[in-house]
Structure 1
Amino acid sequence: MSKDETGRIRSWTLAPSTPAFVPPVGAVDAHCHVFGPMARFPFSPKAKYLPQDAGPDMLFALRDRLGFARNVVVQASCHGTDNAATLDAIARANGMARGVAVVDPAIGDAELDTLHAGGVRGIRFNFLKRLVDDAPKDEFLDVARRIARLGWHVVVYFEADTLEELRPFLAAIPVPLVIDHMGRPDVTQGPDGADMIAFRRLLDSRDDIWFKATCPDRLDPAGEPYDAFVAAVRPLVEDYPDRALWGTDWPHPNMESRIPDDGGLVDIIRRIAPTAELQRKLLVDNPMRLYWAD
């Protein structure tokens, strides 16, 4: 664990490797975050973790090092519903970033319009109890209805053991859905395990559910070379090629005890998307269709 003198945590490597895999031209890192800088964008008093600064300059330097062209910046839970840091990162990307916000369900339409003008194209609902204190489903559904006019989608983060409980809620969301990290399945069960079968049932329930084939560092307990993750996730990417997204998850919130190498994560792409066509859909066509349709 890496902490500075104030106890703030670093969860990313200071020296990521250069990946051997070269992403296709225009590739999008469709799941990443920024932390602060705290002096300009204070963290939420409800934050469950206090990270060191990981701002846009660091994010864009990593983007270039890894061979990507664009980012989708997802609001980090440590910033609560104040999306200023995310909007700042988008503004500084010169059109090469879009965002996913976290909002108070009581947000007004004018503020939603401001977020849209700032590059936000979706909102995130977090059901991880270790990160959020409550998740008011009825209020979430109300705001989901109100973003439909903007052409946005809803990103949902949950763990596999809560999927059955969430199915009615997910079915009621009237806009496209994106599932973070495939709902955190137990990849050691393999591609035909209970968690992956349940997730496939969700994908088959409607044709506007997307997923992020992300976070081998979180999901594969054996660590590198992430063989269990590859075995479980590759068939999902192959079977749903037009609904898969990929991202680094940099700066890897809450991973300070097991910090991944970002270059190594990029090299996993060619193992879960083994053809040039799959790679292009995963990294270019799908995220561009979802985030840059306008």
Structure 2
Amino acid sequence: MDPSPKAPHFLVPAGAVDCHAHVFGPSSKYPFHPGRTYTPPDASLEEYLHLHQTLGIQRGILVQPSVYGVDNSATRHALQRLRKSGHAYRGVAVVDSSVSDNKLDALHEDGFRGVRLNMLFKGGISWKDVTALADRLAERGWHLQFLVDVSEFENFETLIGQLPVPVVIDHMGHMACEKGLAQEGFQALCRALKNGHAWVKLSGAYRITSLDQTPYDDVVPFAQQLIQANPERCVWGSDWPHPHISVPMPNDGALFDELASWAPDVQTRKRILVDNPDALYFGDLA
């Protein structure tokens, strides 16, 4: 992460939500999964809240990272601290198919509202666990979040269409821009958005770009096509502290400014930053 985030150059609407971020460490207290793909540096809750203060964001979603496997302790304890201090934050957990109802209920009490299925990095769970979990999550009003490259997700529309819960796709589908807008997996994602069968996180632009620094101009047409497919199914996430990336570390203000080029219309940005996250994550508070 860049320790000195800059303020964005556009007016951030009140109640904005950062729908994708992680906290890490200290590793002495929260040990990493032995089969992890990467080892991140510490990224504290205090640093995360400082980021939000700088960007003008009031709420957020902490997502369980792959490096902790199914041990949600670091994310859970962060959510507990946020709740005690009066902050409106939610979480997305990682669990296995044998998780008990009591454990799911306890996670719900702490603010978790979804389960992440990691199909890219070691330490997550795979598709075989989906059907075993979906009905139980539906009872709690939770969703399933996929970290997946949509260009390699066979039968995407058919599979997600069979699930009884909302489906959220990380990082704009995590497909390299060089594969082109016409790539069938990306078009399947756009169709799923248009039909209301999926949500997408407008996040992680540096994970799909072929460029080294912001602005990531090659990402613009992809983000815009996702928004055009269904602006009511798009949310934004910082992906802070930007773990396991292959480009120079960007500044978070510059990353946030990318949204203004993806969605130049003020009302569309408000929908992405406020209204859509309200429906997906905070509906039980309405």
Which deviates more, 165-174 or 41-50? Answer: 165-174
1:83-98 correspondence runs (5 A): 83-93=72-82, 94-98=86-90
**Which residue type is aligned with residue 62 of structure 2?**
V
Alpha-carbon spacing, 1:226–1:45, altered in 2? closer, same or farther (3 Å): same
Conserved 8 A contact 1:186-1:195:
no
Residue 182 (structure 1) shift: 2.3
Range with greater deviation from structure 2 (218-227 or 278-287): 218-227
- Aligned partner of 1:109 in structure 2 is 101
Match among 250, 262, 279 for residue 260 of structure 1: 250
The alpha carbon displacement at 1:105 in A equals 1.3
* Of 11, 28, 34, the match for 1:22: 11
SS at match of 2:196: coil
Taking the aligned partners of 2:235 and 2:54, their CA distance within structure 1 comes to 20
TM-score, L = length of structure 2: 0.91
Letter in 2 for 1:220: T
Aligned partner letter, 2:104: L
Counterparts in 2 of 1:134 and 1:78: CA distance versus 1, 3 Å: closer
- Once the two structures are superposed, residues 118-170 of structure 1 have per-residue CA deviations (whole angstroms, 9 ceiling, x without a partner) of 00000010111xx1267443332111211111000100111133222444432
Q: Quote the offset at 1:258 in angstroms.
A: 2.5
**Residue in 2 aligned with 1:229?**
219
2:279 and 2:161 mapped to 1: Cα distance?
22
Whole-Å separation in 2 of the counterparts to 1:61 and 1:197: 37
Q: Kindly indicate whether the alpha-carbon contact (under 8 Å) linking 2:172 and 2:223 is maintained by their aligned counterparts in 1.
A: no
Percentage of pairs with the same residue: 38
* Residues 185-204 of structure 1 aligned to structure 2 (within 5 Å): 185-188=175-178, 191-204=181-194
Larger displacement relative to structure 2 (95-104 or 229-238): 229-238
Aligned to 2:162: 172
Using the size of structure 1 for normalisation, the TM-score is 0.89
Q: Letter of the aligned partner of 1:278 in structure 2?
A: T
The aligned residue for residue 82 of structure 1 is: 71
> Which amino acid letter does the alignment assign opposite residue 272 of structure 1?
W
Runs (5+) with no aligned partner, structure 2 = none
Matching residue's letter, 1:103: V
Q: Secondary structure at the match of 1:242?
A: helix
Aligned Cα root-mean-square deviation (Å): 1.9
Structure 1 CA distance, aligned partners of 2:226 and 2:183? 12
SS at match of 1:235: helix
- Please say if residues 137 and 169 of structure 1, whose CA atoms lie closer than 8 Å, have aligned partners that are also in contact: no
Q: Distance in 2 between matches of 1:256 and 1:197?
A: 25
Cα distance between partner residues in 2 of 1:178 and 1:263: 25
**Cα separation, partners in 2 of 1:283 and 1:172, compared to 1, 3 Å:** same
Distance of aligned partners of 1:159 and 1:234 in 2 relative to their CA distance in 1, 3 Å threshold:
same
When structure 1 is superposed on structure 2, of 258-267 and 109-118 the one drifting more is 258-267
Q: 1:82 to 1:293 in 2, by over 3 A?
A: same
Deviation string, structure 1 residues 159-190 (Cα, Å, up to 9, x no partner): 13322244443232210111111221333455
Q: How many residues end up aligned between the 2 structures?
A: 280
CA distance in 1, matches of 2:184, 2:104: 38
SS at match of 1:164: coil
